Amino acid sequence: MKIVLSTFIVICVGFGNVLAQNDNQHKLWYDAPAADWNEALPLGNGRLGAMVFGNPVNENIQLNELTLWGGGPHRNDNPNAKEALSEVRNLLFDEKYDEAHRLAEKSFISKVSHGMPYETVGNLRLNFKNQENYTDYYRELDIENAINKTRYTVDGVEYHREMFTSFTDQVIVIKLTANKAGKISFTASMDRPEPAKVSTYTENGNLLVMTGFGSDNKNKRLPKETPAIKGEVEFDSRVKIVPSGGALTATNNTLEVKNADSVILYISIATNFVNYQDVSADAHGRAANYLAKAEQKKYEDLVTDHSSYYQQYFNRVSLDLGVSESTKNPTDVRIKEFRDGFDPALAALYFQFGRYLLISSSQPGGQAANLQGLWCKDLTPPWKSAYTVNINTQMNYWPAEVTNLTEMHDPLIQMVRELSEAGQETAKVMYGAEGWVTHHNTDLWRIAGPVDGATWGMWPTGGTWLAQHVWDKFMYSGDLGYLKSVYPAMKGASEFCLSVLIPEPKNDWLIISPTISPEHGPKGRNKGINIAAGTTMDNQLVFDMLTKTIAAAKLLNVDAGLVAKMETTLTKLPPMKVGQYNQIQEWMEDLDDPEDKHRHVSHLYGLYPSNLMSPYRNPELFQGAENTLIQRGDPSTGWSMNWKINLWARLLDGNHAYKLMGEQIKLVGRPGSPKGGGTYANMLDAHPPFQIDGNFGFTSGLAEMLVQSHDEAIHLIPALPDVWKDGNVKGLRARGGFVIESLEWKNGEIVKAIIKSNLGGNLRVRAYNELAFENGKQLSKATAINSNKFYSIPDIKQPLVSKKAQLKELTLKPSYLFDIPTKAGEEIILVKK
């Protein structure tokens, strides 16, 4: 093997370029070490995370464990809210917004806790001797196998590092090799941003152990006399070094390897966390047990088991959008040149990188991916790296079902179950309401009271949005057993809505008050005064929650009385409105500013991720949504940019969605690079700073450009940009239990589609070119409402259109609509007619 590799090196300019050009479809690769954390490469197994810098001299492996948070089990409800509720509502109806804001700040916002931060475990530092003068440098993240590699040459010796976070054995494994014996020498130490106990295990002299607790924490917004929430998460992180050849010694909390032929390092981390109410586990026993089991296996078996487990998810979807000359360049160069060049393979890599990150940060039985997934270098990260549930946490899971990662959705579903328990007390104490509530932010401890001040936190429908996910998961699977298990969370979310809806004085519509349109206020208000009544997003969320709970109850044949109440309530909700600027109104009153470029477009929830706005069913709303997006503009922060990609895909405008992809895939974070949102060299989303929701939003957005299944039919390549004339995708899922096993297009037209029906029932397909069965048999044109129960059409009230609005007639690209009866397990093969 070495002889062949040497031949390649002679032929090519450099060692790195050879490896890069050898099948780099699913590889991020670089010709220099990471300059900072935003260039390090992420590894994760859903519980353990590592950021790898790839430095030949001073390697840093920054470590995370997804249950290491500050604080401990606690509640943060404000019991003063219930008494103040009526007065706040009256102030809002009297348009005394400043007074309403002050009273909400005083009586609703938590006086106990504003949420706990997610924290880093710390760092494993490997300092190598005599490695400064390295050449032929190369590092990669192989997202097809979930393995990181670093390679370089010093004085004619080739050094290799291979690292992965094992899904199957729950340890991080590093293997160090060189092509000459006795050439590996380094010291290993561990540290954390604040004091923690670090020691070497002296019996065998080959074990580093660092232990400690998550921080005691108190938000600066709280009064001085408020006690901190005690840090109760205990962690144990340990590193075992097993050299082949050479010597290993332990001195001063450091392990030293001298003149080894190869070395394997096992990193085990565990905490005492059991669930959001229980921190009674044995962190030390857990960490020791993971380590003891892993070191009994051969290295080759560790690698094989790890990659095989990972690939059962990753390999479900493949995407080919074409290649270009750009693929020969390092990933950071490709990111920098994407906007001004042509690199369809980078868009495909970005899509698959999002799937890699979701598999790596959200595993069944574990915690949901937070604001940074599971990768965090701080003790007090931006926005606590918590669960911001007014868009960010939901966006993390937009790709889960459509990109065939339904198991990765499970941690979020479990979080909803837990919030539906914790939030019952909050609903009762703060609102005197039935059901459960969560506001705009929560954490590992499932706090449900409002935090961060009334400007951001006075929003009681965070749980209402989260609960949509449990229904959406069912829409893809049709699993009635699953639906029965999550129905209580749906029912509780609807019961809260029914309890707190009140009639507004002008039209007697039922609305939520007090609330906000996340994190935004109307023109003309004093800064930070966002409090409102009956915002458009809340109206949409309540409509969706009641509609979906009704459907679930009827499928399960339960709660007939509640169903009747919800059906009556639906008739009393406000309609969506098209305002004077031809926009979807964000508030009940026509207060939108067409020059407003705010990052949140909450009132377009009804377009995406919901399906309340359709070009085929309610074109006025559809046009209003498009006008709203045009007025808000394209430039934005990371997650907002990627929400807009999804929105433009839903507007069936692939070229505009692709334009925003160019705004997202632009290199930031380096000297001389553009400011604002974009992509760091390691392909993580820059809000800035890093937020992982942008990565996930990009992946879901690209999927929406290729397959949509929200508007009564499976729409194939609904928003294909002109630059992707030819391509194919395999494995995307559609609502109704359908899998797009293969979809191929040429010159912008579908040439072949294979769709598997897992549940049976009517398959309705929409396409821009006419299709036929593979045997030439003609398809039946669809005429009536889709009979498939998974494609019921939302009964949206006709929108109210301002007299000042002047909507133009909507022109849509002509499409064909076909109905195909299917049986469970059947494959339908369609070809271009």
Nearest one of 411, 378, 377, 444 to 113, comparing CA atoms? 444
pLDDT of residue 22: 42
SS3 754: strand
pLDDT tens figures, 83-115: 999 999 999 999 999 999 999 999 999 999 999
- pLDDT band, very low/low/confident/very high, at 635 (cuts 50, 70, 90): confident
Average pLDDT of span 4-11:
32
- Residue tagged 């449900």 (tokens): 448
Per mean pLDDT, which range of 46-50, 222-226, 771-775 is the poorest? Answer: 222-226
Average pLDDT of span 523-529:
93
Per mean pLDDT, which range of 198-202, 396-400, 460-464, 780-784 is the poorest? Answer: 198-202
Domain membership of residue 45 (yes or no) is yes
Average pLDDT of span 484-495:
98
Omega within 30 of 0 (cis) for the link into 814? no
pLDDT of residue 14: 38
Average pLDDT of span 606-629:
97
pLDDT tens figures, 762-772: 999 999 999 99
Per mean pLDDT, which range of 51-55, 488-492, 549-553, 802-806 is the poorest? Answer: 802-806
pLDDT of residue 16: 40
Average pLDDT of span 481-494:
98
**pLDDT beyond 90 at 690:** yes
pLDDT of residue 5: 32
Domain count along the chain: 1
d(CA 184, CA 257) in angstroms, rounded, equals: 7
d(CA 823, CA 344) in angstroms, rounded, equals: 37
Question: DSSP readout, 39-89?
Answer: GSEEEE-SSEEEEE---SSEEEEEEEETT-BSS-S-----TTHHHHHHHHH
How many Å from the N-terminal Cα to the C-terminal Cα in the chain? 50
The token pair that represents 467 in the structure block: 């609960």
Per mean pLDDT, which range of 19-28, 375-384, 401-410, 694-703 is the poorest? Answer: 19-28
Nearest one of 489, 460, 464 to 474, comparing CA atoms? 489
pLDDT tens figures, 300-339: 999 999 999 999 999 999 999 999 999 999 999 999 999 9
Average pLDDT of span 731-756:
98
Q: What is the pTM of this model?
A: 0.96
**pLDDT beyond 90 at 587:** yes
d(CA 502, CA 430) in angstroms, rounded, equals: 16
Nearest one of 762, 738, 767 to 831, comparing CA atoms? 767
Under 8 Å between Cβ of 507 and 527: no
Alpha-carbon torsion, ordered 738, 744, 749, 755, to 10 deg: -20
pLDDT of residue 793: 87
The token pair that represents 334 in the structure block: 């490709």
pLDDT of residue 203: 59
Domain membership of residue 216 (yes or no) is yes
Domain membership of residue 291 (yes or no) is yes
Domain membership of residue 200 (yes or no) is yes
Average pLDDT of span 47-70:
98
**pLDDT beyond 60 at 7:** no
Average pLDDT of span 720-731:
98
**pLDDT beyond 90 at 721:** yes
pLDDT of residue 23: 65
pLDDT of residue 220: 83
**pLDDT beyond 70 at 458:** yes
Domain membership of residue 39 (yes or no) is yes
d(CA 233, CA 227) in angstroms, rounded, equals: 18
Higher pLDDT, 829 or 251: 829
CATH of the domain at 277: 2.70.98.50
pLDDT of residue 432: 98
Q: Please give the DSSP secondary-structure letter assigned to residue 512.
A: -
Domain membership of residue 672 (yes or no) is no
Domain membership of residue 593 (yes or no) is no
Nearest one of 269, 286, 282 to 119, comparing CA atoms? 269
Omega within 30 of 0 (cis) for the link into 227? no
Strand partners, 756: 739, 827
- Domain enclosing residue 229, as ranges: 2-71+115-315
Amino acid at 43: L
**pLDDT beyond 80 at 358:** yes
* Backbone angles phi and psi of 167, in degrees to 5: -70, -35
d(CA 520, CA 826) in angstroms, rounded, equals: 48
Helix (H) or strand (E) holding 706: helix 693-706
pLDDT of residue 11: 30
Q: Are strands 727-730 and 318-320 parallel, antiparallel or unpaired?
A: antiparallel
Q: Are strands 761-767 and 441-442 parallel, antiparallel or unpaired?
A: unpaired
Question: DSSP readout, 277-305?
Answer: TB--S-HHHHHHHHHHHHTTS-HHHHHHH
User: Residue 628's CB: how many other CB atoms inside 10 A?
Assistant: 25
**pLDDT beyond 70 at 516:** yes
Domain membership of residue 678 (yes or no) is no
Under 8 Å between Cβ of 499 and 434: yes
Strand partners, 198: 210
Under 8 Å between Cβ of 435 and 733: no
Average pLDDT of span 385-405:
98
pLDDT of residue 410: 98
User: Residue 122's CB: how many other CB atoms inside 10 A?
Assistant: 25
**pLDDT beyond 80 at 647:** yes
Alpha-carbon torsion, ordered 163, 165, 169, 173, to 10 deg: 30
**pLDDT beyond 60 at 706:** yes
